[in-house]
Structure 1
């Protein structure tokens, strides 16, 4: 079922009756118990490495079930095997699968799959698999406890993943990077490029794979005019809500399309919406991608006017700043303010002593 071999020497650990009773009382206190027939599920926060993360949940026979993808917040890889209709979990040397509708797990141990019983089955709600979080977390080598005084469930993941988050560059010099997300396309990208060329200001474009394929000439122009390029996935999904393998494919397919069209594969990546899980960070690291955020959010996507965008930039800019803007196609023309503001942003910041550079230059140190 899976090409790469993983193994675990730990058998599943089942919660005792007292632990489950506590979970029942806790969730009953928060909300009316939900079940798979309800159209709207209840929600509750679960502490992961002391950080509260709210999730939907289902109670079944005294067991707490959460969306399988929620476990990505722990740092474990979470995938879907369509052939066996199973959720597959991986963490270091441990790998196991939970088939939907079954009260067992298939554990990959020393090159073979071995079946182990579980006290509750994995269920499907509105096409989404829900898994017993206590059993899954413990099988992944995590610690789970319930604090009655705080009315909170705590999971200590025991997974250390190195973050490579970057929100700004070197603050000792007055350098600034303009960045544009979601292109290329044919309405705003040419206008932005015209302004940048006229002003002699380089920028960096976080491009989407499907947009490169649809607008290869605009992509070539970005590179030919000396601007930086970076990866922004193929389809712009919320990475927290897609399987780990999908995250990897979103990045790799866009890298391949950039290489095909302009012969470059940058190591800069920005997740759509700036959203990602702990597991996604592990994927970024595996692929050698630096996770680029921003220090100035212009909120231009919301249809702000040019004057409003300029005011935000002048208020929030500082040395080493990374300015977030967009260049997507929109019939509502929400980015007219971006084009209107750009010349003024460049003029204002230059008057303040700033120099415009690509992200590659800003982060070269």
Structure 2
């Protein structure tokens, strides 16, 4: 016990000595004179420092847009000069592919905004999402899931509660394939015409059935036919769900030709776009080609939740 007390006392004394103002000032002086002082005279270090502003972007706050309603924030990026220098030191030449970035979060986040529908992701984020509303079309689901798997693409499936009740195994299949599931009401009513109590009942009942069948909680709600009123959005928000709309509609329920469907989407493809579709014959037939064309334009395809995240996708200097 006495030996332990002596060791403890020694540690306290050592800590006190190291943390004196004189020692701190001395250590700070050594740090200042060490690596940075050497690098300041290094042409590679100077090149990284001088080029850094070209690649840096300020963060973008989430906001309510007059047209697009709620827009998520997007991280800024800053060049980590020391880490980048270390990454390039071996070859001794500036290489933008070896730049190391740190991400800077915005001050205002999507959750800070008042309840509002979301029609798209951030306009600077090179990602798009597939919104697949499911209340029918079982015969086309397997083909669509196979195509998504082939391209390693995750989509967001918004499931009608009554459909899940009748097809729990298909709902499980969607989740097992790695896709996101959301709430699409219980019986596909016109949500804008429902009383608050009935709207809440539609959402709660569907959440319970989806969780019971897939063990997944819903954080997203897509109103049938895009029909809602402000109260609908507030109820979803109270249930911890964001109301999701769309940017581009395939109008696949009208059975267009695959070529028409593809052109309809590709003519409007852009950063942050959310593409509405259903399990239909034209969608199943065009999905493979559609994914290929979207990827050729260097857009990533992710779930709605992925699209709404603030993390910046860094593609060299073009992002």
1:219 paired to 2:171? yes
Q: Aligned residue for 2:288? A: 343
Q: What is the count of residue pairs matched by the alignment?
A: 198
How far apart are residue 173 of structure 1 and its match? 2.4
Distance 1:185-1:308 versus aligned 2 partners, 3 A rule: closer
SS class of match (2:267): helix
How far apart are residue 170 of structure 1 and its match? 2.2
* Structure that is richer in strand per residue: 1
Q: Aligned residue for 1:354? A: 299
Q: Aligned residue for 1:50? A: none
SS class of match (2:115): coil
The C-alpha deviation readout for 1:306-360, integer Å capped at 9, x for no partner, is: 1000001110111111000012xxxxxxx21111111111000111001111111
SS class of match (1:310): helix
1:229 paired to 2:174? no
**How far apart, CA to CA, are the structure 2 residues paired with 1:188 and 1:246?**
31
Higher RCO (C-alpha 8 Å, min separation 6): 2
The correspondence of residues 66-85 of structure 1 with structure 2, limited to 5 A, is none
* Structure that is richer in helix per residue: 2
**How far apart, CA to CA, are the structure 1 residues paired with 2:255 and 2:248?**
16
Q: Aligned residue for 1:293? A: 245
How far apart are residue 171 of structure 1 and its match? 2.2
Computed over aligned residues only, the root mean square deviation of the Cα atoms, in angstroms, reads 1.5
SS class of match (1:169): coil
SS class of match (1:163): coil
SS class of match (2:120): coil
**How far apart, CA to CA, are the structure 2 residues paired with 1:198 and 1:185?**
21
1:178 paired to 2:130? yes
SS class of match (1:234): coil
**How far apart, CA to CA, are the structure 2 residues paired with 1:363 and 1:282?**
19
**How far apart, CA to CA, are the structure 2 residues paired with 1:183 and 1:197?**
21
The correspondence of residues 123-162 of structure 1 with structure 2, limited to 5 A, is 162=114
SS class of match (2:276): strand
Which of 192, 197, 200 lines up with 1:245 in the alignment? 197
The structure number with the bigger radius of gyration is 2
**How far apart, CA to CA, are the structure 1 residues paired with 2:163 and 2:227?**
20
1:192 paired to 2:144? yes
**How far apart, CA to CA, are the structure 2 residues paired with 1:276 and 1:162?**
16
**How far apart, CA to CA, are the structure 2 residues paired with 1:285 and 1:197?**
32
The C-alpha deviation readout for 1:87-111, integer Å capped at 9, x for no partner, is: xxxxxxxxxxxxxxxxxxxxxxxxx
Moved over 4 A (4+): none
TM-score by length of 2: 0.60
1:305 paired to 2:257? yes
The gaps in structure 2 that reach 5 residues or longer are: 1-112, 311-319
**How far apart, CA to CA, are the structure 2 residues paired with 1:184 and 1:197?**
21
The C-alpha deviation readout for 1:156-189, integer Å capped at 9, x for no partner, is: xxxxx94321111122221111111024652111
TM-score by length of 1: 0.52
**How far apart, CA to CA, are the structure 2 residues paired with 1:246 and 1:200?**
38
SS class of match (1:247): helix
**How far apart, CA to CA, are the structure 1 residues paired with 2:266 and 2:297?**
10
The correspondence of residues 103-114 of structure 1 with structure 2, limited to 5 A, is none
**How far apart, CA to CA, are the structure 1 residues paired with 2:128 and 2:203?**
26
The C-alpha deviation readout for 1:113-167, integer Å capped at 9, x for no partner, is: xxxxxxxxxxxxxxxxxxxxxxxxxxxxxxxxxxxxxxxxxxxxxxxx9432111
The C-alpha deviation readout for 1:188-228, integer Å capped at 9, x for no partner, is: 11111011111211111010111111111111111111111
Q: Aligned residue for 1:321? A: 273
Pick which of 179-188 and 349-358 moved more.
179-188
Distance 1:184-1:265 versus aligned 2 partners, 3 A rule: farther
Q: Aligned residue for 2:309? A: 364
SS class of match (1:211): helix
